[in-house]
Structure formats: structure tokens, C-alpha cells
Amino acid sequence: MRLEIESYYQSYKPLLFSLAYRMLGSVSDAEDIVQDVFLTLDGLAEEEIRQPKSYLCKMVTNRCIDHLRSAANQRETYMGTWLPEPYVTASDDHNDPIQRYLRKEEISTAYLFLMEQLTWVERVVFLLREVLQYDYEVIAEIVGKSRVNCRQIYHRAKKSVGDLRDKKVIPEEETAELVTKFAESLLTGNVQQLLGILSEDAILYSDGGGKVQAALRPIQGLERISSFFQFTLPKLPADFSIRFYRVNGQMGLVTTYNGATAVISFEIQDNQIQSIYGVANPDKVKLP
């Protein structure tokens, strides 16, 4: 009996995409891998796959591992700060299944950026254990390590990401209010209002990929961020515009000026903006 691929696609695509997205930090690469997995299924008999969820997750994981190995050197030579590619939909689109899944699983830009600080082995082991609850024996077979080693890798990775995971979930209304104030501050050039919604140790990350102008290093602290915006806001051209979008399940912004587009997302804690993530690399900016 042939597989009902469309049924599997509808049932498992959000999970498979989120797994690949967490591992790779790239929307386009995650989509390509998921698509390739389902193309591979075409022609298989249903009896060949006893546990479709596990089977599909392993196929995605193996392809992600191959991709991570081949992409390691490219990432080392990346110009400036590397930020994950944002998943963007219209601000009023609450029906996109992937956006709903990203929101439910709290797969924010901050989360993906933290994943990037792990080695690819740590990332894969952590996600297989944390997201899929795989036994260490299965994980060991996938990554080519011993069970004991995988257990150590998992606990090391869990400790590294613990700070972010322990933070409370921010109500969507609170996020929307702060993002709106941020947008108003940019449009009016009100630096003081902007600083009023940032935490003392806020960080601004920019990713231009060497293709558009962007800060090569993170800008940390109110004083430095203030200097940055006091310098840049007066220079914004007349065609500067801001639109609200949903970015990784949360409220975010898209700015456009001089033909360049940037996607901005935020990490919010204690009713203040803790981190600002601006992705302007045209290879990573894809709008609906």
C-alpha cells in the first residue's frame, strides 16, 4: 500500500520544519530539507515505515547533520554577526501552522541565536533529547558518539541554554506595546523614548552579511545604543518606512529605506527590551 504522503505532510510538517530550523537557523535550508524528505518518501510502501514520526525525524536530522558539517567553514568566514534567518508572516496571520508552532514552542530569534553558540554536535544531541525525547542509545547511533558521551554533551548543552529557557513567557500584549513604542521612536526620531523601553544592558545585533551596511559587532549598553541611534536616526531618508509583521511567532518589524529591507525582532524581559535583532542580509530577508 502506497504512503499517503499528503496526510503525513499535513501532520508532521510543522514539527519537521521546526526541528530543522532549530538545528540550522535557516528558513530556506529547513524548507529544502523537509521538502527533500517528503520527495524521498514517494514510492515507499506504508509497511516500510512502522513509526512515521520517528522515521521522518531521523531523516530530517541526518540531512541536517550533513548540512551542518558542510556549512561549518562558511560560518567561520561570515562577515559580522551571524543571526538566524527570521520566519516572517503577516502580523494578522494567525492561521499559519508553522507560526503557531514556533509560538507554542517559543522558538524565538533569541532561542535560535543561543542554539548557534553550541557546537553542531551539542545542538543535535540537545534537540534530539529535549524535543524528541530520544534515548541516549538512539542519539549515540545518530551522531556517532558513545551513550556516556552523549549524556555529557546533553547536560553541557542544557546548562548553556538554561538561562534563556528559565525566563518567563512574555504576554503577546506586552510585546506588542513595546514593539509599537520602538517603531514610534524610530519614526519620530525620539531617542529618549527609545531608551526608556530598553534595559540597562540591552544589546543590539545587526546582520548584513557583508552585503549591506550593518554594525559588524554587537552594540551593548544604553550609552552605546544611544550614541548609535543619535547618529543614525537623523540620517534616515524620507522613504524610511516601518511595517508590523509576525517574526518567529512574535510581533516584529520590517523596515525599508533606500531599497534595503531589514527584519527586526526582540527579546523582552521585565517589561523592557533586552535584545534587538536586525537582519538586513538580503539572502535572509523573505517577506510574505
**Cα–Cα dist 252/69, whole Å:** 31
**How many domains are contained in the chain?**
2
Residue 206 has pLDDT above 90, yes or no: yes
Strand positions, DSSP E, 39-122: 88-90
Structural domain for 257, as ranges? 172-279
For 136-151, write each residue's pLDDT tens digit: 999 999 999 999 999 9
- The model's pLDDT over 91-112, given as tens digits with 9 standing for 90+, comes to 776 678 888 888 888 789 999 9
Interstrand relation of 219-220 and 198-207 (parallel, antiparallel or unpaired): antiparallel
Distance of alpha carbon 86 from alpha carbon 267, whole angstroms:
14
- Residues 146, 35 share a domain: yes
47 plus 152 within the same structural domain: yes
Give all strands (DSSP E) within 78-185, no chain letters: 88-90
Are 46 and 121 members of one domain? yes
How confident is residue 72, by pLDDT bands cut at 50, 70 and 90? low
Instruction: Say if residue 79 is in the same domain as residue 196.
Output: no
Q: Give yes or no: residues 11 and 151 share one domain.
A: yes
155 and 30 part of one domain: yes
Residue 21 lies in a domain: yes
- Predicted structure pTM score: 0.90
